[in-house]
Amino acid sequence: MSATEISAPFEQAKPMRRPWQRDLAGVLIIGVAAVAGYFLFPDNLALLTRIIAIMLLVLSLDLVTGYCGVATLGHAALFGAGAYAAGIAAVTFGITEPLSMVAIGAIAGAVAGLVSGVVILRGHGLAQLVLSIAVIHLFHEAANKASTYTGGSDGLSGIAPDPVFGLFAFDLWGRTAYVFGIGLLILVFVLLRILVRSPFGTLCRGIRQDPIRVSAMGASVKASLIKMYVISGAVAGVGGALNAVSTQVVGLDSLSFTNSAEALVMLVLGGAGSLYGALVGTIVFMWFEHVVSAANPFHWLTIVGALLIAVVLFAPKGLYGTAVTLMKRFIGSRQ
Amino acid sequence: MSAIFEVERLKKSFGGLDVTKDVSLSMAKGDRIALIGPNGAGKTTFVNLVTGHLQPNSGRVLMDGEDISKFNPMRRVKAGLVRSFQVTRLFSEMTPEEHVALAILQREGKSGRLAGNFHAMPQVMREMGSILETLNLGTLATVPVGEIAYGQQRLLEIALAMALRPKVLLLDEPAAGVPHSDTFLIENALAQLPDDLAVLMIEHDMDLVFRFAKRVVVLAAGEIIFDGSPRAVTDDARVREAYLGSYAHASSAA
Amino acid sequence: MQVFFSIGVDALAYGMVLFIISIGLSVTMGLMRVVNLAHGAFAMIGGYIASYAARDLGLPYGFAIILAVIGTIIIAIPLERFLYRRIYGAPELTQVLMTIGITFCVIGLANYVFGPTLKTIPLPAELQGPVNLGFRTIAAHKLFAIGCGVVVALGLWFLIERTSFGVKLRASVDNTAMAASLGVRTRIVYAASFALAVGLAAFGGVIGAELLPVEPYYALRYMVTFLVVVSVGGAGSIPGALIACLLLGAIDTTGRYLVPEYGEFFFYLAVIAIVWVFPRGLLGRAK
């Protein structure tokens, strides 16, 4: 066997540089969509900013559920921790510089991720699910009772962030908040693209597919999952902090079971295990919610339920996953 | 010739049933040992005891003179004790390339890195390429494992073991599930294992055993009843009894 | 002492109601390995039917119970046939999503049909007011709930340990493939136990309406409680479920009496502690 033969198949590996181009394309798409959103829906910028915050939550959930295979119904705990931390930092401790608030949110989210990761990963299957539900209720009750800091069931209000970089004040129309949110989203997206391609990202995908094989390679499944939980917490915490900065209030609903369950619905709707899927699912779900609840709030839950059943039955890979499969089949049939 | 791997008086019982009775075994660098035995002899239990997936009632496992009996399975892998699985355990959505790269990165302690990609690590790429080429998996390097044939998945199991660069390799029926006509592929792959690696193979395919092993160990009803050359094994009275009389004797250990 | 006694009675009544509702979930989870988050929704449907029958139609209480059980089973049959059968053996996440989807649908529809208010099920005269036990008096409906729990536990024990259906059920729980090859029609066993589970949930929903009030978010509010029972007791174990129910009933009731402000907080903390110590359930089998 000659040396040229050995290296031949790996010449094809060269185009693997492409992921960088795909990331750039992804960033461009987000950018174009952001600009389009800004001009098409100038009256709905607050909604769009909320969508961005929830996108960060769903991306964060994707890391543990889509990439690592942990089923959780308590992921809003990480988002809420970030939101409350940023809010409390501003209201109680007077830290109103927006980037610092986001950093505090990320740290609080990471800590919440560590705590809930350690708790949730103790069990498997049903026990894991029960622990995740108990965790979100526990966080919810804790925030409810610590009303001195959190405002309890009235919510935490009076968050007044400074202008971004000392230049761009948060305006009534939510323009600054929107641009701030887009900036954070692009930053997180790029970092996560790097993460999911990294050796650690590959390891986590391996854990989802066969944890026993991973441990037979000498890697610690649990330590890796907890590490991913911490990263995931930081991402969700940024989302929570963005929500606190942009809406200037934090409510108990950010720490609710419903918020957790909806995030899971959005992820699965878009397609778990893909960052694009998380983004697509969030936009579709929240826009749909906006339209439907404006028309008839009574039916919203019924429709979400029906949507979920339909996705499980007809598009288990989610919208993005199904689209990719169809595209591949289309390209394949043309060749 | 010093032993790289030693099992000292390993005992395990489930309830009142002694599944492993006082098993001792020693391996030196470069050993090629086949562990055979009738069904229910306790071979799988032995592997699980050695790899740390089961706790023995008594006895020790030593690696290079170091007692690894208290190590969990992960630390044993890090100490150089690697196993393969009787039924293929692979990541069905990932490619052979990713499998081997992950194993190499794990061996080098880089699998926790949050940035970078193995495609940009020339050393990893080179080693991965040579392992896959050695096992004739080069052309399948970028095909998801779920889409490749079972025999080739078995080869990838061996590739993973090679990538981890173990000192001692336990192969649990490497040819299981592979059509007899393709066994030679596995055999060729085994021939590519490094010379100084100590290999213990559990196998039912006696042709493969006789061609591969320099030494055969026979386990029956939880005990080692034979340890010697492949040529002598078929003539051994106890081995003949264990196999041919297995219905009468081994049923209590099943 | 009075407080202690009240807590004891309430805890027992609450635990028994939990048991009646959750035991079906435990059996189906042990049998079909479906993480069914919609189980509470069936209890809620039972409550709504009974409330409608007894309050709006003025039917007698006993009749309302029967109607609730049968009605809920009738509603559940198409769900089992067209939705649940698709997720037997599917990954857990799929099961969670499907059953949470069903839960959301049921909540939305209940909200639409019956409105967001609490629905009461008027008790018959015999169950109203206190019963004098000689040394203490306790509310009759609580005594009734406890009695029902005991009857259900004994009935299930008899059904599973002493009847041929029980033999088939146990065989199917242990090893479905083996049972099928021995001639047990596992599909029928599945369907029958699903119906039994749903019927018991509806029964518990009606009996327990005084303790777990019927309203649209019932299915979501008590979801974790029912799941915890199964998780703590070990799927498929009747004694495990009974112990878990009594334990959780005691924790929850004690919390409500002694620290009403932090009741739920301590309940969830206890849940985490229990599952932490027994990740496979008190009497669960290692898999």
Interval B160-209: pLDDT, tens: 999 999 999 999 888 888 888 888 888 888 988 999 999 999 988 888 88
Please report the pLDDT score of residue C284 as a whole number: 58
Q: Helix, strand or coil for residue C136? A: coil
Q: Looking at the predicted structure, is the pLDDT value of residue A332 above 80?
A: no
Report DSSP state, residue A161: P
> What distances in angstroms separate CA C213 from CA A223, C51, C111, C257, one per listed residue?
43, 11, 14, 18
State pLDDT tens for residues A312-329. Answer: 898 888 889 888 888 888
Residue bearing tokens 């699985």:
B85
Encoded tokens for A329: 């089949």
Mean pLDDT of A252-266: 91
Task: Report if residue C154 sits inside a domain.
Answer: yes
In the numeric block, the tokens 């029928």 are attached to C188
Question: Average pLDDT over chain C, rounded to whole?
Answer: 86
Chain A interface disruption, residue of B111, B137, B192, most A CBs within 10 A:
B111
What angle, rounded to 10 degrees, do the helices at C61-79 and C186-207 form?
Answer: 140
Any A CB within 8 A of B66 CB: no
Which amino acid is it at B4? I
Output b/e per residue, B73-112; b: 16+ Cβ within 10 A. Answer: bbebbbbbbbbbbbebbbbeebbbbbbbbbbbbbbeebbb
Q: What is the mean pLDDT of chain A?
A: 89
The ipTM of this complex is 0.86
Q: Do A199 and B111 touch (CB under 8 A)?
A: yes
Which pLDDT score is estimated for A6? 36
Contact C265 A133 (CB under 8 A): no
Closest CA to A26 of A190, A181, A187: A190
| Banded pLDDT at B240 (limits 50, 70, 90) | confident
Beta bridge partners of B11: B58
Under DSSP, the state recorded for C114 is: H
Q: Cα(B241)–Cα(B250) distance, rounded to whole angstroms?
A: 10
Alpha carbons C55 and C170: distance in angstroms, whole number: 40
The Cα–Cα gap between B246 and B231 comes to 21
Q: Is C42 helix (H, G, I), strand (E, B) or coil?
A: helix
Helix (H) or strand (E) holding C218: helix C218-221
Angstrom distance (rounded) from CA A88 to CA A107: 13
Which residues, 6 or more positions from B126, have their beta carbon under 8 angstroms from its beta carbon?
none
User: A91 or B239, which is more confident?
Assistant: A91
Which token pair is B102?
A: 């992950």
Cβ pair C179, C172 in contact under 8 A: yes
Reduced to 3 DSSP states, what percent helix, strand and coil does chain A have, rounded to the nearest 5?
A: 80, 0, 20
Q: Given the DSSP bridges, would you call strands C130-132 and C137-139 parallel, antiparallel or unpaired?
A: antiparallel
Cα distances (angstroms) measured from residue A155 to each of A88, A150, A244, A248, C260: 11, 7, 11, 11, 21
Q: B221, B249 in Cβ contact below 8 A? A: yes
The closest CB to that of C108, out of A261, A301, A316, belongs to A301
Dihedral, A178, A181, A185, A186 alpha carbons, nearest 10 = 70
Tokens of B218: 């026979």
Q: Which of B119-123, B205-209, B215-219 has the lowest mean pLDDT?
A: B205-209
Q: Distance between CA A125 and CA C140 in Å, rounded?
A: 40
Q: Which residues fall within 8 angstroms of residue C143, CB to CB, at 6 or more apart?
A: C13, C131
Average the pLDDT over C175-189 and give the result.
81
* Model confidence at C16: pLDDT above 90: yes
pLDDT tops 50 at residue C83 = yes
Query: Chain A 199-258, CB below 8 Å of chain B: which residues?
Result: 199-200, 202-203, 205-206, 209-210, 212-213, 215-220, 224, 227, 231
Longest dimension (CA), chain C: 58
Q: What is the pLDDT of residue B159?
A: 93
CB contact under 8 A, B91 and A213: yes
Overall average pLDDT of the B36-47 stretch: 85
Instruction: Give yes or no for a contact between C193 and C27, defined as CB atoms under 8 angstroms apart.
Output: yes
Residue in chain A lying closest to B145 (CA): A209
Question: Any idea which of A75-89, B80-94, C132-146, C266-280 has the lowest mean pLDDT?
Answer: C132-146
Torsion of Cα atoms, A237 then A242 then A243 then A249, to 10°: 100
Residue A257 contacts C where some CB pair is shorter than 8 Å: yes
Separation between Cα atoms, residue B57 and residue B54, nearest integer Å: 10
In B175-234, the residues whose Cβ lies within 8 Å of chain A are none
Please tell me the pTM assigned to this model: 0.89
| Both tokens assigned to B38 | 């009738």
Q: How many Cβ pairs closer than 8 A exist between chain A and B?
A: 110
Q: Given this model, what pLDDT does residue A136 score?
A: 94
- Taking the C-alpha atoms of residue C174 and residue C76, their distance in angstroms, rounded to an integer, is 25
Task: Nearest chain A residue to C110 by CA: give it.
Answer: A302
By DSSP bridging, strand B58-63 and strand B66-67 are antiparallel
| B164 CB within 8 Å of a chain A CB | yes
Tokens representing B74?
Answer: 């992960």
The secondary structure of chain C in percent helix, strand, coil, rounded to multiples of 5, reads 75, 5, 20
Mean pLDDT of B197-224: 89
Q: Which of the four pLDDT bands, split at 50, 70 and 90, describes residue A5? A: very low
Looking at residue B205, its amino acid is D
Residue C118 inside a domain? The answer is yes
List pLDDT tens digits, range A133-185.
Answer: 999 999 999 999 888 898 888 889 988 888 888 888 888 888 899 999 999 99
Is A touching B (3+ C-beta pairs, cut-off 8 A)? yes
| pLDDT surpasses 60 at A274 | yes
Rounded-to-integer distance, Cα C21 and Cα C26, Å? 10
What token pair was written down for A296? 């008839």
**Is position C64 within any domain?**
yes
Would residue C119 count as lying in a domain?
yes
pLDDT of residue C260: 82
Q: Give dist(CA B129, CA B121) in Å, integer.
A: 12
- The pLDDT assigned to C286 comes to 43
Give span(s): CATH 3.40.50.300, chain B. 1-80+166-254
Q: DSSP class of residue B252?
A: G
What residues have CB less than 8 Å from B92, skipping those under 6 apart? A209, B144, B145, B146
Q: How confident is the model at residue B97 (pLDDT cuts 50, 70, 90)?
A: very high
pLDDT surpassing 50 at residue B24:
yes
pLDDT at C138: 81
- Does the beta carbon of A152 lie under 8 angstroms from any beta carbon of chain B? no
Residue with tokens 């009857």: C151
Read off the tokens for C132: 């004098």
Quote the mean pLDDT of chain B: 87
- How far is the first Cα of chain A from the last one, in angstroms, to the nearest whole number? 32
| pLDDT for res A14 | 42
Interchain contact, A199 vs B110, CB within 8 Å? yes
Contacts of residue C83, Cβ cutoff 8 Å, sequence gap at least 6: A309, A313, C98, C102
Count CA within 13 A, CB hemisphere, residue A3: 1
For residues A206 and C265, give the distance between their C-alpha atoms in angstroms, rounded to a whole number: 37
**Cβ of residue A200 closer than 8 Å to a chain C Cβ:** no
Where does B1-80+166-254 sit in CATH, by number?
3.40.50.300
Query: Encoding tokens for residue A134?
Result: 């108990």
The boundaries of the domain holding residue C199 are 15-220
Domain boundaries, chain A: 18-255
Which residue's entry shows tokens 């009675």? C9
Higher-confidence position of A187 and B188: A187
Number of domains forming the structure of chain C: 1
Across the interface, do B133 and A1 touch by the CB < 8 Å criterion?
yes
Percentage, residues of chain C above pLDDT 90: 29
Measured CA to CA, the distance from residue C174 to residue C183 in angstroms comes to: 15
CA atoms of B237 and B114, how far apart (whole Å): 59
Kindly report, residue by residue over A99-145, the tens digit of the pLDDT: 999 999 999 999 999 999 999 999 888 889 999 999 999 999 999 98
